[in-house]
Amino acid sequence: MPEISRFYGIIIAMFFEDHNPPHFHARYGKEGVVIEIPTLRVLEGQIPPRALGLVVEWASQHQEELLINWEYARQTKPLGAIPPLA
């Protein structure tokens, strides 16, 4: 699962050849969530509300890059790093 960003202890990653809908994985400590890219809704899992807020804020700023990485991951191409939340 390639890491594409990391900030405030949160790790953002995608799996190669993953299933639809387009999504990414966010881990915070031992907890994790799967976030749908177009809607930014949680598909499964949970992390603390503050961490989830940071993830959603970051993802809203990088939806286009996330969708590009999603297509690359589906084709097993190298994923691009996305800047962390500043």
The DSSP annotation for 24-52 comes to EEEEETTEEEEEETTT--EEEEE--HHHH
Q: What is the pLDDT of residue 1?
A: 74
Q: What is the pLDDT of residue 21?
A: 96
Its pTM surpasses 0.75: yes
Please name the residue that has the structure tokens 């949680």. Answer: 42
C-alpha gyration radius of the chain: 12
Q: What is the pLDDT of residue 66?
A: 98
Q: To 5 degrees, how large is the angle CA 19–CA 22–CA 24?
A: 95
- Per-residue pLDDT of the chain (86 residues), as tens digits, is 799 999 999 999 999 988 999 999 999 999 999 999 999 999 999 999 999 999 999 999 999 999 999 999 999 999 999 999 98
Query: Identity (one letter) of the amino acid at 47?
Result: I
Q: What is the pLDDT of residue 52?
A: 98
Q: What is the pLDDT of residue 17?
A: 83
SS3 3: strand
